[in-house]
Amino acid sequence: MAQYKYSTYLHHDTSVAFDDIHQPGDVCKHSGLFRCETCGDEIAANKGAALPPQNHHQHASGRPIRWRLIVVAQQR
């Protein structure tokens, strides 16, 4: 689970961007932290870069990797 120390640097946002589920290899529309919906593994990814491929890590159950954006890095 993503952690933080200083809540003053975070802002609650209800953007639909947090609702989308992404496939391995999808191109990121936002820089930030992504969490695997199956196992909870978290990664950092940059806007315009591809999310890790299916072989990035495997689940013992054979269930697919699905990424969800959990924290957006604000860029100005």
The kind and range of the H/E element at 33 are strand 32-36
In the chain, domain spans: 14-72
Residue-level pLDDT, tens digit, the chain, 76 residues: 889 999 999 999 999 999 999 999 999 999 999 999 989 999 999 999 999 987 777 777 778 899 999 999 987 7
What is the reported pTM? 0.89
CA nearest to 22, candidates 4, 3, 1, 38: 38
Q: Which residues pair with 61 in a beta bridge?
A: none
